[in-house]
Amino acid sequence: MKAYWQGTLNCDLLTIPVKLYATATRQELRFHYLHVSCRSPIEYVRHCPRCGTAVSGEDLIRGYEHNDSLVIVSERELASLPQTKEHVIVLRQCVHVDAVDPICFDRAFCVEPGAGAKKAYALLLEALRQAGVVAVGTATLREHDRMVLLRPAAEVLILHTLFAPTEMLSPERLALPHRPPHPAEIKGAQEWVARLSGAYVPEQWVDRFQEALAALVARKAKASANRVPALFGRARRKSWSPPPKAAA
């Protein structure tokens, strides 16, 4: 299992070498598009509409969208900007578990202690758990400075990256109701809540489309006429030979 990130977790009390692993991976089936006449996988290329030609990576520059135009920024200018190269998570404050609205959560990662750091890891986890707090701070992940939140969960620490306030949608931009509901309406809504209240069992929720799609793919994969080699990039261009068309 490959780690998403590896570095150090720092606070006033401890310094812990850690690795981050994504807490979940979507299990969605994905399609590749094929050319109907020869059943070859389609390639997507960078194309300049003005010149009418394909463009290689060496011929690309960056443009930042600003006031209905693109401002050109060179690689040298980007390199001159302040960047943190250290792989470090710095915990700066502990707050109550309900102080941060879950709407601010972006990605979630399981935190694994490095060699010789299990005792310090367990100490930090238990201290947060017993205090009923989470730790917030900053981290440099993939060359980006991010706000983060660290919380205890069962026997593992979970790190959440957080959206910055400027990235959040303000409710003021939405057409929301301002009239309070009638007491009788509230009572009816509370009865509905009571009827649906129960234990959270995520296993009962099934994506029926994905299940049916997986079964369809498994059935069709048994016939060679429905399969083509899964070659990509340079290997495909060297090795690809169009398969025969399936009988109508």
The pLDDT tens digits for 141-159 are: 877 889 999 999 989 999 9
- Is 75 a member of any domain? no
pLDDT at 248: 42
The CATH number of residue 91's host domain is: 2.40.290.10
Q: Does any domain span residue 141?
A: yes
Count of helices and strands (H, E) across the chain: 5, 11
Q: Is residue 35 part of a domain?
A: no
In the three-class reduction of DSSP (H, G, I as helix; E, B as strand; rest coil), residue 122 is classed as: helix
* Distance from C-alpha of 171 to C-alpha of 98, rounded to nearest angstrom: 20
Residues 5-15, mean pLDDT to the nearest whole number: 90
Helix (H, G, I), strand (E, B) or coil at 192: helix
Q: Find where tokens 């957080």 sit.
A: 162
Residue pair 113/90 in contact by the 8 Å Cβ criterion:
no
Residue 21 lies in a domain: yes
Domain-embedded: residue 50: no
Inform me whether the pLDDT recorded for 235 exceeds 80. Answer: no
pLDDT in the model for residue 40 = 85
Q: What is the domain extent for residue 149?
A: 5-26+82-166
* Residue at 137 is within a domain: yes
Contact 114, 16 (CB under 8 A): yes
Q: Residue 138 class from Cβ within 10 Å (0-12 exposed, 13-18 middle, 19+ buried)? A: middle
The pair of three-digit structure tokens given for residue 175, joined into one six-digit string = 């057409």
238 located within any domain? no
> What is the count of structural domains for the chain?
1
133 within domain boundaries? yes
